[in-house]
Amino acid sequence: MVSLLRNHFIPGCEVPGRSGLSHTRLLSTPTGHRAVTVTIGRTGVTVSTAAPRNQLPALKTTIRRWLDLETDLEKVARAFISDALLGPLVKHRPGLRAVGYPEPFEAAVMTVLGQQVSVAAAGTFGGRLAAAYGTPGEAGLTIFPTPAVLASAPPEDLRSAIGVTRTRGATVQHVARAFCDGLVLSGDHADVRTALLAIPGIGPWSADYLAVRVLGDRDAFTPGDLVLRRAMGNPSISEAETLSERWRPYRAYALFHLWIEATSARRVS
């Protein structure tokens, strides 16, 4: 959890704590964005915020969904413990959760910016986008740009501000227009996936990734993910999909275990 938050932060919008165990960002509430700091410890997650008391229930709900704090991980462990690939990983990291994303539009744009580039590069692009089109928020943080602002931006100005290709910049604006037209990343997952795939520049990997990180589908899977397939022994996309059938209904947790194992192995090597 700490590693994911630290590695995927958007400069200007989020601040990883110096200790490495805390993370500060803005979260939306019915009355505006509020700065929240979550601190992850061995006994749980603590939260600090200056938000008014009447906003705390909404923030609590968002944070618990974001950090996947409602899941009974013992059920996940029992489902995987006898699996030749996942059993050892669950024993090594029994508390691994399928961390989500607290802001759906932000997640969709960052997923586009993360296509075929490193996590660090995606963060750099996101920071540039926020600096150019975001607005000031609490605690010196920037509120991520709204769909309306990005949809109406001159295409070449937006592309130049982010530093991406024209195609990638166009996809960001296609996503923004879809949200302006009523796209909501909630509800029936099959319908949402269909709507996402209808957006120019959004392919199966992006749609599957958003199902895991935003829709909270605990059986979603990204068979096209290169890091995942490396951890699975480099099967094809169709083979990865077939192999994942044995991990239902917790394929998202299998995904996180394999992701973290692959990235940990890469750091060690």
Calpha distance 144→133 (Å, rounded)? 8
Q: Report how far apart, in Å, the C-alpha atoms of 189 and of each of 40, 193, 214, 254 are.
A: 30, 6, 11, 19
Count other C-beta atoms under 10 Å from residue 187's C-beta.
10
Tokens 């409602």 -> residue: 70
Burial of 244 (0-12, 13-18, 19+ CB in 10 A): buried
225 counts as catalytic: yes
Contacts of 132 (CB under 8 A, 6+ apart): 158, 161, 162
Calpha distance 122→86 (Å, rounded)? 29
Residue-wise DSSP of 143-202 = EPPPHHHHHHS-HHHHHHHHT--HHHHHHHHHHHHHHHTT--S-S-HHHHHHHHHTSTT-
Q: Name the catalytic one among 68, 208, 217, 225.
A: 225
> Could you list the active site residues?
225
